[in-house]
A and B are shown apart, each in its own frame.
Chain A
Amino acid sequence: MIELDGLTKRYGTKTAVDHLSFRVRPGMITGFLGPNGAGKSTTMRMMLDLDNPTSGTVRIDGRHYRELDEPLKYIGALLDAKAMHGGRSAHNNLLCLAQSNRIPRSRVGEVLDLVGLTAVARKKSKGFSLGMGQRLGIASALLGDPEILMFDEPVNGLDPEGIHWIRNLMKSLASEGRTIFVSSHLMSEMALTADHLIVIGQGKLLADTSMADFIQQNSRSFVRLRSPQQERLRDVLHADGFVVVEAGNGTLEVDGASTDRLGELAAAHQLTLHELSAQRASLEEAFMQMTAGAVEYHAHGTGTDVHGGAPAAPGPAWGANSGWGAAPGPGSGPTGEGV
């Protein structure tokens, strides 16, 4: 259990983290979400006692980080992938960490095996790819077999197989009763892994909610239809009292209807359908809306954060496709049912 109480960090006049209070509970994956520059990494550094808070406290199982006897056995952290000495082999990088916390030497081989780096254990970590560096960082976090694990953007630089692997790893670690705290700026990634969600923007807490609640509150579900007889289809739907939105590219979107009902309706009128699919407006967009508000709210105060053109622009800079509205772009916008 990690408890943050009124955690604040100021750099001069800029407030990076602003009275942040929340709890990270054991046995589940807590997603820590915010756009770039929201204060996620600063918060995590303060949790690990690397940066000193301006005010407020962080408690790990009721204790300050510096009071932990052998910290790697309580909490393992992946901050950035290359926080290792490149001239040292993967094995030696882990060995010196293990020794400082009296972790048996055999454990180094175990974690290297666990992350799949045994073959390059004696190679200098300088030559590692981003993905391998990420795996080495995860190995260092797992070294003390800790109760709490913190990952800062763990999927960065990983290939699809690696992303799949880390998702499953986090899930299995959480199922053992561990506390998993993972930051990301990708809502879609969090939707797949996290049980609980903490959203910050401009250093302020925006949401502290379960993933299920967040999805329910923020996802708009609709049915997408595509037909060569689009005009007739629309008339039929109208006649049946459905609200139809034209989404471009010859697709229609209908809110609050089931695919069964619409498919039967089309069949009854002998209309050809090229597509009939249930869609859910992406959580990414809900998240962007939520944090865009925070960016706007603070724009006159700092104005230097998100390099997305005019500070008043609601579209934050990390997403290319920020068009939130009735027409999520095909492909990139909505996610399928699999959420």
Chain B
Amino acid sequence: MTAPTPTPVPPPPYGYVSPIPVRRAHLGDALASEWTKIRSVRATMWTLGTMILLMLGIGLSVAAIAAGEGGGMSEESALPLGFFGMLPASICVITLGVLTISSEYGTGMIRTTLTACPSRSRVLTAKAIVFFLLVFTVTLVVAFVVATAQVAMVDAAEPTGAEWARATVGAAGFMAVLGLLSMAVGALVRHSAGAITVMIGVLLLPLVAALFMFAPALKGLQEVLFTYSVPSQMIALYSAQPPFGEGGPAGWEALFILTGIAAVALGGAYALLNSRDV
């Protein structure tokens, strides 16, 4: 070895010292590792590929239908049409988010991972950053392509800059944060099928339950579920005014709410990962 070899290890009696120089590992190393992991499994390609197809296919179909109907949308821009592709695409993001961590538990890889990097927080942070950037970037590109096509195809009001930002950066952020929430649930549940089920439930159940609340006594609960269910938040993201009721969230608020929930779930995942046996 040509490099200077400072040996932090106490002198003999220890016989063998690794010739590969040692320095303190940091987040950058964990990021490189997680990037290799996420790009080297098929699940990433499949889930993101399906997501792209769903966003493009549904987004363009909806735009074509709206264009065929003609008129009627003159007061609004065509950008909210992006919602229709985003809802099914979010299921792909949920799956990938959960698998990013739960597949390590399923295969036993987590033990190898944590032997190599004993800091649970560093592993989880690296996973979160890599996953967020990947999903954000992919969704941003696809959302931009879909939005451009929709605006070009449908005869509607010209979208403002703020509307463009929400339909692209906002939508990509929403998807990536939803994925982070799924990752946190994956870390808490440690079981792929279980965690995906939980997340699909979180995604759809409030809305479905609200649909069947006929009793007048449940009116208040029904409204809350309608307003704050994940699909409603997605619709709200595209809208400057609260689309449901008076006090509901609109625009960026939808993303902030989801970010808050994801932060709490990730906090729980950090705490549990640090205290739990692997």
Contact = CB atoms under 8 A, between A and B. Distances in A.
B25 A84 contact: no
Interface in B94-135: 103-104, 107-109, 111-119
Nearest to A9: B277
A79 B36 contact: no
A49 B276 CA distance: 11
Interface in A268-293: none
B112 A83 contact: yes
Given A69-B24, A95-B36, A99-B36, A83 B109 contact: yes
B119 A84 contact: no
Contacts of B42: 87
Contacts, number: 143
Taking each of A62, A79, A88, A147, which has the highest tally of chain B beta carbons within 10 Å of its own beta carbon?
A88
B108 A83 contact: yes
Contacts of A159: none
Given A65-B118, A96-B33, A85 B16 contact: no
Interface stretch (B7-15, B153-161, B188-196): B7-15
Nearest to A65: B118
Contact of A71 (B40, B108, B118, B277): B118
B33 A97 contact: yes
B278 interface: yes
B217 interface: no
A235 interface: no
Interface in A288-338: none
Interface stretch (A101-109, A113-121, A237-245): A101-109
B18 interface: yes
A192 interface: no
A97 B112 contact: yes
Contact of B36 (A1, A26, A96): A96
Contact of A178 (B16, B25, B107, B113): B16
B43 interface: yes
Interface stretch (A138-146, A221-229, A258-266): A138-146
A109 to B, nearest CB: 14
A51 B277 contact: yes
A147 B116 contact: no
B103 A69 contact: no
Contact of B112 (A45, A84, A87, A107): A84
Contact of A100 (B32, B43, B108): B32
Contacts of B43: 87
A92 B36 contact: yes
B20 A144 contact: yes
Interface residues of A, number: 52
A256 interface: no
Contact of A26 (B14, B19, B32, B275): B14
A99 B32 contact: yes
A61 B18 CA distance: 14
A144 B18 contact: yes
Interface in A38-96: 45, 48-52, 61-62, 65-66, 68-74, 77, 79-80, 82-89, 92-93, 95-96
Contacts of B119: 66
Given A61-B9, A69-B25, A85-B109, A101 B116 contact: yes
B19 A85 contact: no
Given A68-B118, A87-B41, A99-B29, A73 B22 contact: yes
Given A66-B119, A70-B24, A83-B112, A88 B29 contact: no
A145 B19 contact: yes
B10 A61 contact: yes
Contacts of B107: 82-86
A93 B36 CA distance: 9
Interface of B: 8-10, 13-20, 22-25, 29-30, 32-34, 36-37, 40-43, 103-104, 107-109, 111-119, 275, 277-278
Given A74-B9, A82-B108, A83-B112, 14 more contacts: A26-B14, A26-B15, A48-B115, A71-B118, A73-B22, A77-B115, A88-B40, A97-B112, A100-B25, A100-B117, A101-B116, A101-B117, A103-B20, A144-B18
16 contacts: A26-B16, A45-B277, A45-B278, A66-B119, A70-B23, A71-B115, A71-B117, A73-B18, A74-B18, A83-B107, A83-B111, A85-B103, A95-B40, A102-B29, A147-B9, A177-B15
